[in-house]
Amino acid sequence: MTATVSNPLNDPTATTLTAGDLEATFVPGHGMLGISLRQGGVEFLRRVDDLKTYAVKNQTAGIPFLFPWANRLAGSQYEVAERGVTLSPHSPLLRYDNNGLPMHGVMWPHLAWNIVDRAPDRLTASLDWSHPRGLVIFPYPCRLTMTASVEPASLTIETSLTATSDIQVPVSFGFHPYIGLPDLPRQEWHVSLPAMRHLVLDSKNIPTGAEETFAGLGDTLGDRDFDDGFALLGEQATLSVAGRGRRISVDLLDGYPYTQIYAPHTHDYLAFEPMTAPTNALVSGKALRLVEPGDTFRAKFRIRVGQDA
C-alpha cells in the first residue's frame, strides 16, 4: 500500500510514492506540495529543511504549485475575460516581492487539496476553485486535478484545469522545483540548457516584450546568477544539472512553452520552472491561453534522476 508518512507539517495527507529506490513525498493538505524526492536515500529537493517556517512566511519550498499565476505580476490589478481584479496588499494568502509585486499566486499553505486516488506509485488530488476568498483573487471558477507518479528513475506531474462555470478561465500557472546535487559545491554544477528565446526583463523582473536569441548553455555554474525567463523553440525541452556522476533533468513535456531559470549564486539550489505562460501574462495578455467553459487544459513535466553519462 502507499505509505502515509510523518512530516514537519504534521499533515495526515502526506503520502510517499515509491518505485524501485526512488521515493517522492507530497502533501495534498498543504498545496499538494512536493517535500521530498529521494533516490537510494539521497535527497534531491531543496528548501525542505524548515517547512514550518516557510509556511508561516508564505515562502516557496520543495516543489510548489504556483497558481493562479507563476512568478510575479507587474501590479495589483489585472483584467481578463471581462473580469477586473484588484489584489489586496494585506491578503494573508499572497506574497509580495521586494518591489511590492504579487508573487506566485495563492501560496501553498492555504490550498487544501482532496485526495482522489492513490496507489504505491501514484497520487491524484483535486482542488475546487470556487471558494469566495479564492475568487476574490482569481474570479474564474475551475477544478484543478494533479497526478504525481513515479518510476524507478523519474517523477512525472500532470496537471489539468477544467473551466466549471460559464466563463473562460485564463491559464498562467506553473511549478518551482528546487533541486540540488549532494556533496558538490554549487560552483561545480554543470548546467545544460537548450537553445531558447530569452525574455528581456525590466528592473523589476517583468518582461518588456522584447526577446533575444539564446544559443543554449553547457558549462559549470561558477558564480553565475540566473533569474531569467525563456520561451521554448519547440513543444518540448529538457534542462539539466549534473556533477560527480549524477544528473537531474527537468523535461517540459506538454503545455509548458515557457520556463524561468532561477539559480542565485548565494544558495546551493536551482530551479528549472515549468510555466504555462510568461511572467505577468494576466496583466500583459501575452501568450495567455483561455479555457472555454466545460473544456480542460492539460500540462505535464517530469523530473529525472540518474547517473551522468
CATH 3.40.1000.10 given to domain 3-307: no
- In the structure grid, which three cell numbers stand for residue 163, read together? 473551466
What is the per-residue pLDDT across 2-25, written as a single tens digit (0 to 9) for each?
A: 444 547 788 999 999 999 999 999
pTM of the model: 0.96
Burial track 145-174 (b if 16+ CB lie within 10 A, e otherwise): bbbbbbeebbbbbbbbbbbbeebbbbbbbb
Q: Classify residue 167 by its DSSP letter.
A: S
50 phi, psi to nearest 5 deg: -145, 65
- Which amino acid, 50? D
What is the per-residue pLDDT across 183-226, written as a single tens digit (0 to 9) for each?
A: 999 999 999 999 999 999 999 999 999 999 999 999 999 999 99
Where along the chain do its domains lie?
Answer: 3-307
d(CA 306, CA 227): 26
Burial track 46-65 (b if 16+ CB lie within 10 A, e otherwise): bbbeebeebbeebbbbbbbb
CA distances from 116 to 33, 144, 234, 297 (A): 16, 12, 33, 19
ω before 68 within 30° of 0 (cis)?
A: yes
What is the per-residue pLDDT across 83-102, written as a single tens digit (0 to 9) for each?
A: 999 999 999 999 999 999 99
DSSP structure string for 285-304: -TT-EEEPTT-EEEEEEEEE
